[in-house]
Amino acid sequence: MGFARLDAYLRGLVAEGLLPGFVALVAREGEVAYLGVGGYLDPEKGLPMREDALFRLYSMTKPWVSALALTFVEEGVLSLQDPVEKYLPELAGLRVGREVGEEVVWEPLRRPLTLYELLRHTAGLPYGVFFPSPVRRLYLEAGVERFDLSREAFLAGLSRLPLRFQPGEAFEYGLATDVLGHLLEALSGKSLEALLRERVFGPLGMEDAGFWAKDPARLAQPFPQDPETGKRIRLIPVEAPPPRYAGGLGGVGTAGDYFRFLEALRRGQGLLHPRLARLMTADHLGPLYGEGLRRGPEYLPGPGYGFGLGVAVRLGEGGLAPGSPGDWYWWGFGGTHFLVDPSLGLTALLLTQAPNLLSLAQPEKALHSRLGQRLGLAFRTLVYGALA
């Protein structure tokens, strides 16, 4: 296998001033075939990137929490059919906000919100910050996505907001994994950090994974300003423990940490039984895929992909980049990507610390960004192109 083109592409982005630095890893059947380390750990200080750099993972925290929940399902402690209000009574009064033009018409739930809907992001819980809509605007105004809220304040705020869809009605990417993490805390009486340490990080040897940078000197930093828009870059603070453990975006880890996690799921060893790992990485949207695709860019799995219990899952040969039916992937807003192709024994991971998904926050720029989601698509294309 030759990864010269992939390596040249990433180093070229650094040389152009589009990426501050990167760590990239590609493995076949668990054996590392390519490890690229380039650019700067801290571009302002001129510190070189290092293999053990810590990255803010943003939404790549979600698969951790999804797998954690399935460890309880595997033990029979939880059922995918359990209603959320059984563990979080604060959310017992949730309703749906049907969007009629610019108005929000409230209606009762037709069925309870369940653990299953949280895992496959069909709970109707949005993010207010992406792709404006009347219900999302209510979330943005309520400030429930702020990183400085306590667990109690977050749940109280959420209890007063409507779901955007009826449970099970549509894929809606948002705060579902945050709610899932707090459900697991209520179930166990332990913090999400402690649960992950006990059930995921510890068993897999993920020594640096967590919700804050234990060694801030290894924390990868972005450019002070976005190179495409000129806007100031502000990433979540992870130098100290957070006010609450946000299961959807708060994680920090190294490439080595995340590689161990992905390999455990790919092999079905060390974390979940092979059948449970397969359940997590199989499509669970079914007929909801077509309707999701018609919603355009806000359907974040993208063309050719359904969604499992925490990851996007390829449905067939279509899509915007190469792959295989059954491959699965996800990414993080701060510039992180992974893909796993079980048919090829392939695991690939790219960690940067740049706002290369800024086009989600500014959809009008999506088609004109040099990077945006293009970085993940280019990485995937170059990885497959390097395979013998």
Distance CA 53, CA 37 (A): 10
Which range of residues forms the domain containing residue 142?
A: 80-186
Residues 205 and 91 in one domain: no
In this predicted model, what pLDDT tens digit does every residue of 253-300 receive, in sequence order? 999 999 999 999 999 999 999 999 999 999 999 999 999 999 988 899
The tokens for 188 are 């166990």
Distance CA 205, CA 209 (A): 9
Ramachandran assignment for 334, one of left (phi > 0), alpha (psi -120 to 50 degrees), beta (any other): alpha
Residues 366 and 234 in one domain: yes
Is-contact 54 208, C-beta < 8 A? yes
Q: For residue 240, is pLDDT > 60?
A: yes
Q: What is the pLDDT of residue 361?
A: 59
Which of 167, 186, 205 is the C-terminal boundary of a domain? 186
Residues 44 and 138 in one domain: no
pTM: 0.96
Q: Would you list the DSSP string of 29-47?
A: TTEEEEEEEEEEEETTTTE
Residues 226 and 105 in one domain: no
Which of 118, 152, 186 is the C-terminal boundary of a domain? 186
Identified catalytic residue from 59, 159, 343, 369 = 59
Instruction: Kindly give the pairing relationship between strand 346-352 and strand 305-307.
Output: unpaired
Q: Would you list the DSSP string of 133-188?
A: -HHHHHHHHHTTT-TT--HHHHHHHHHTS-BSS-TTSS---STHHHHHHHHHHHHH
Residues 304 and 348 in one domain: yes
59 noted as active-site residue: yes
136 CB-near residues (< 8 Å, 6+ apart):
126, 127, 128, 129, 130, 164
CATH number, position 115? 1.20.58
What is the tally of structural domains in the chain? 2
Residues 196 and 179 in one domain: no
Q: For residue 363, is pLDDT > 70?
A: no
10 Å Cβ neighbour count for 285? 23
Which of 153, 171, 186 is the C-terminal boundary of a domain? 186
Residues 266 and 317 in one domain: yes
Q: For residue 364, is pLDDT > 70?
A: no
In this predicted model, what pLDDT tens digit does every residue of 143-187 receive, in sequence order? 999 999 999 999 999 999 999 999 999 999 999 999 999 999 999
In this predicted model, what pLDDT tens digit does every residue of 26-48 receive, in sequence order? 999 999 999 999 999 999 999 99
Q: What is the pLDDT of residue 33?
A: 97
Residues 141 and 216 in one domain: no
Residues 43 and 115 in one domain: no
Q: For residue 358, is pLDDT > 70?
A: no
Distance CA 253, CA 255 (A): 7
Question: CA-based Rg of the chain, rounded to a whole angstrom?
Answer: 20
Residues 232 and 243 in one domain: yes
Residues 127 and 258 in one domain: no
Residues 212 and 312 in one domain: yes
